[in-house]
Structure formats: C-alpha cells, structure tokens
Structure 1
C-alpha cells in the first residue's frame, strides 16, 4: 500500500474513527484501524465486535492495498503533523508515515484476523443532523452510566408517524425528545448512549443523517462515515408507566434565572444536594438547609397557575433539567406528593423536548 493524502483530512478521519470505536486494549486486533486503499481513496475501519465504524477520506493512491495498524498511535501521529500532505507506505513489516523531514513507523498487525465492518440493511429514515444532535445532547445525558444496569444505559429511538422520538432514563429522571424525520419504515431500538453522545458531536453540522435498523443491529450514516452497534433491550422504556395526569400546579419561569438561583442555593443544601421549590403568587422561592452549611433562600419571578404544590429536587438534576432550555421560558407541570414534574419549553421548537424529574423528600429543617 502506498498513498498520499491531505494531512488534515486524514487526521480528522482517524480521530473520528477512534472516538466512535475506542477499541479494546486487551486485543491488539480490536484496537487497530484497518486501512484500505483503492482508486477511490482510502477507507479507515474499526471494530470491537459489538461496535464498528468506517470513515472514507480522499487520497492519491499509488499502490492499492490493505493493512491493519494500531489506531490511537496513528491518529495521534497524524494530529501532531503540520505538513499539508502525508504519505503512508508499507515498508517491510511497518507502515511508514512520511512527512517533510520526518518518518514514523507503525507495526503491521494481521489484518486477516480483523472482523471488518458490519453492513446493516433494513428500515429506517433520515433526520437533520443539527436536530438529532440537539435531541441527543439532552436525552443521552440522562441515561445511566453504571454498566451493572445495562438496560438503563441506552437511548430508545422509536418512530411515531412523522416524528422520531428519543427516550432515556437513569430511574431518577427521564428525557424525551421528538423531531421530524422522513421514514421508509418503522424503527424501535435501544442504542448505547455512550455511542450516541459521540454521534451527536459529529453530526451537529451535517444536513442529513440516515438511521437504519436490522435484527439486533443499529446503524447511522452521514457524509463518508458509517457506524454500527449491537442494541440493548429497551422495550420497557416508556413514560406511559409514569403517572403524569395529576398536575395541580403549573409554573412559568425563566430557565436561566431558576438554574442560576438553584446553583447558589444548593451551596447550602444537605448531603443529598436537595433544594425545596416553594410556589408563591408571583414567584418561586428556593430554599436549602444543612446543619453544618447553614441555610439559604432565593426568590425568582414566576407565573404560577393552579395550586401551590411545593416539591423538593436534587439540585444537580434540576439544573440538568433546565440546561437544555437555556435562554427560554419553561413550564414546570408539578404533581402533588412524590410524583414526577414535567419541564417543557413555553414556545414550541423543531425539537420538542420534555424533561421528567422525580422529586425528593424535603430537606430536614
């Protein structure tokens, strides 16, 4: 194999690939990048057997070929180069990375042992990259990070008529986002949130992202990138199992003002980080108390309707719930007792977002 490519483009492709498939250090083959050079350019591929990715890059190929080399050293070397072009050429049992005045060499691994990239064909649809990134930035962050509970570590993607609905929960909160999509079939699949967090970063500036499903597989493709993954069992995940119909208090408030007040008052919260939100006639008052830290309270202008139910929340979860609505007015639909509160934007947008937050027992006086 022998090729010359723009350094920046090749470095970006390698970096994207490593982030999509970090690799398994216990197996050098599954920590490698498979480079395939043809007349069409060079393709970089990676697989850890559960997740695969493929990224194409333009290149002037002098000699076709395929090699497997360690992925991270390749990506880091390309990122460090400042020369406008780089040459990759096989020299014996090494892949030489040549730039003006410099040479680096990576060991060749046995590419015959690499599992390759999974091909997924099946129903799916197309969404806006920006809209998908917006939805995932909130929804994926509410999934659990504890691998001991894998059923809570994913995002459920389900087509509902002309909308794609994303749901995730860590049992204490749930985020639901709905965005337009053009479908050629129904999908209902649970995808690991860790992958979707990275997908969100890479598609934010992309016009179109195609999502596909097959038995036990999910795929997303945009530009010259394809990523696939094995899926989780997510049929259980639905907000219909939560009681959301007993709202007796609604509060309209500025999301930024409430979040800022929550951060300040939370400095005086108990070990659980709990703050109480008391609903008044034209304001909400945040209170926190702790035997050692002292006590704090702060009022925020608001427009309440209905009752005056005053729940308590874990402060960091309340801040997380408000963050996606930065710069906007939100409505808090509060239920009595220990039932969930639903946070939504007052004005509708392309991506419809609902954040469901479970209350906590109030702090002790």
Structure 2
C-alpha cells in the first residue's frame, strides 16, 4: 500500500505515455464519487520509476511509467483535470514538480498547476490478490466487447450490469445479458490454481479489455471472502474491482431448444441491410426478418417516414418463418461477428434466436449470441 507521505517531487516523464496512463486510470475509476480525495490520482516518483495509482474503494488502478527522477515524493492531485491537461499537450516530455500547495506540470512554454489534495485521507491502493490463470491479451480484447454490449446499463438491477467470468478447465467463459439478449463467449486460458466464477462489472472489464489490446499475456487474480475482489494485471499495469454479489442466471437453458429455421449468411452483409432499413424501423424500433426461398427480406415500417425492404440471399434449413427484432439489438449482435459467416437460428416466437459462427474464429474464441424477438402486438 502506498504510504500517505509527501515529498519535494521533481520528475520528467514522456508526455504521451503519461497521458495515456492517466486517461486509462480515470476511465477505470468511477466519476461519481462525492469525496474529492477518491477522485484523485496518487503520483509517486521513486528512484526506480514513476507510479500512477488511484481508487474509488470499489475499483483501483496502478501503473508504472518511465521517468527521470530528480527528487522523489508522493502527491495526490485531481485525476480528471490532470489527465485532460496531459492529453492536450504536444511536447514530448513534461516536468512535474511540487511548488508549494501545487503540482506544476511544466513544458518549455507553459505551466499548469493543480492543487494538492490531502494524501493523509487517501486509503491507498492494495496489491492484487493471487493469480488464478492467464489469457492472451489480444484474445481477451476481442472476446469482451461483444459480451459487454449485451450487459444492461440499468443499475437498479445490478446483476445484469455485470459479466459472469467462469473457468471451465482450460476455457474461460464470459456471459452477459440485459434480459432481451444474451452473449456467451468461450476463450482459451491457462489456469494456475483453483477455479473462477465471479460477476465483474461490465464497464470495468470492457475498459480493461481495451487497454490490454496488443498485450501478450494478462493475469487474472481473485480472492474470495468478505472482501471478494478480482484483478487483471499486464505489463506494468493493474486494474482491481469488487465483484457483484447478485445471482446470475444459468445460460445453458436458453440454448437448449432446436431452431425452427436456420439461415446461413455473412454477418456483415445482413448487418449492412439492417443498418439501411433501420431508419424505417418505426416507433418501436422493429425490424422484421422474413425468410423466403433462398432469401431473407429485411423490412421496416414507420408511419411518419414510410417503409423499406431489402432482399438478402441466404442459405436456409427448416421452415419459412418471420420474426421481428429491435433494430439496435439485432445490429449489435450481427456486428459482433464482423465478416464471418454465421448461422442464425430462429426458434419459437417467445424464444430467443441464436447466432453462431459457422467457422472457427481467430484465437480460439467461440461466441454465441441470443436475441429475443419482439412479440406481435
């Protein structure tokens, strides 16, 4: 834990790297804290490096940056203004120096001074819990976004704002739902000790996945008990989060029924058609997929702007059916597969339609997406 001490800091740091790290930190930490101390970033200049850290008690961030230290010290400054100041600078390096009750960010032609917050009241940033396994950074970065998109933003039902992260042998399974759609993604990982089954806030996991893009390996950490926490570490960075305690539905039962009709088509082709018809989706944002002979008609109708329909050639197996979907949900589900060929399985009117990739995806990722059709009015 960082001790609550202040020194006469004077350090020179590469601007671009510090700006990126500070931006990553403020995106991880909550912007809605009342206590200004918890909205601050701890800056630590030491003989062997420069550390940026912060916590809002639920989440924490810790990263090390390159720098040349003249005088060491630790300070606490407002996080968002610090990150925004650095992002606006074009100079290759900045000098950070304590000047009285301010931390001065100095460039060749400018000075930007931020007030020092009371570091004595900051709780500090704890070390991450024990490692339970590792995963390739590029694979995690590709797997998380489509799952996170299916999570809810309605915090009155906290369970649905999370992503369930569950280990199954040498596979890691990510699950999220907002009750109208459900995404399940399985990816390879290397377990170290014990199992893993936690509900992580989707916003935290999505932001972390963005940051680890291009990283060779990411370690997952977990500790159980009264203060259950999960952490991800890579290179010189760590993100830690509390877990959601609410129960989460078992996704297996939602994929059990057979499809009445399966359509095979390139995801981007169908997505493009949905995008063109969407402006005519009407007050309920309803897009209809009507299956014919070797084709699907994508239709939308709006009393105020008119109607649109477009034919997409597809492969078909099963009955000819018609299903309506919310345009945004359908488009997001299709976009998750990029240019891959998918199988779109339509089931009963009150059962979700299931989307899967026909061929194996890069990195050993297996994605299943369920979208609930709209019940006819």
User: One fold, TM greater than 0.5?
Assistant: yes
Deviations 1:150-185 (A, max 9, x none): 111011110011111100000000011111101113
2:63 is equivalent to residue 55 of structure 1:
yes
Partner of 1:131: 139
2:264 is equivalent to residue 252 of structure 1:
yes
**Aligned Cα RMSD in Å?**
1.7
Partner of 2:178: 170
Partner of 1:66: 74
Unaligned runs of 5+ in 1: none
Aligned-partner SS, 1:242: helix
Structure 1, 208-217 or 13-22: larger mean CA deviation: 13-22
Partner of 2:6: none
The 5 Å alignment of 1:163-202 reads 163-184=171-192, 185-202=194-211
Aligned-partner SS, 2:280: coil
Aligned-partner SS, 2:314: strand
Please report how far the alpha carbon of residue 342 of structure 1 lies from its aligned counterpart in structure 2 after TM superposition.
0.6
User: Is the alpha carbon distance of 1:87 and 1:296 closer, same or farther for their aligned partners in structure 2, counting shifts above 3 Å?
Assistant: closer
Aligned-partner SS, 1:311: strand
Q: 2:212 aligns with which of 203, 213, 221?
A: 203
User: Using the alignment, how far apart are the partners of 2:124 and 2:15 within structure 1?
Assistant: 25
Q: 1:214 aligns with which of 217, 220, 223?
A: 223
Q: 1:277 aligns with which of 286, 289, 297?
A: 289
Q: 1:317 aligns with which of 325, 329, 335?
A: 329
Aligned-partner SS, 1:195: helix
Please report how far the alpha carbon of residue 264 of structure 1 lies from its aligned counterpart in structure 2 after TM superposition.
2.6
User: Using the alignment, how far apart are the partners of 2:141 and 2:231 within structure 1?
Assistant: 16
The alignment's TM-score, normalised by the length of structure 2, stands at 0.91
Deviations 1:294-345 (A, max 9, x none): 3332211011012223222112211111001121211011212311111011
Partner of 2:118: 110
Please report how far the alpha carbon of residue 76 of structure 1 lies from its aligned counterpart in structure 2 after TM superposition.
1.9
User: Using the alignment, how far apart are the partners of 2:305 and 2:177 within structure 1?
Assistant: 31
Q: Matched residue pairs, number?
A: 363
Deviations 1:16-48 (A, max 9, x none): 211221444521101111111211111111111
8 Å Cα contact 1:265-1:286 kept in structure 2:
yes
The alignment's TM-score, normalised by the length of structure 1, stands at 0.94
Structure 1, 168-177 or 337-346: larger mean CA deviation: 337-346
Please report how far the alpha carbon of residue 235 of structure 1 lies from its aligned counterpart in structure 2 after TM superposition.
4.0
The 5 Å alignment of 1:344-359 reads 344-349=356-361, 350-359=364-373
8 Å Cα contact 2:159-2:247 kept in structure 1:
no
User: Is the alpha carbon distance of 1:268 and 1:13 closer, same or farther for their aligned partners in structure 2, counting shifts above 3 Å?
Assistant: closer
Partner of 2:96: 88
Q: 2:19 aligns with which of 8, 11, 14?
A: 11
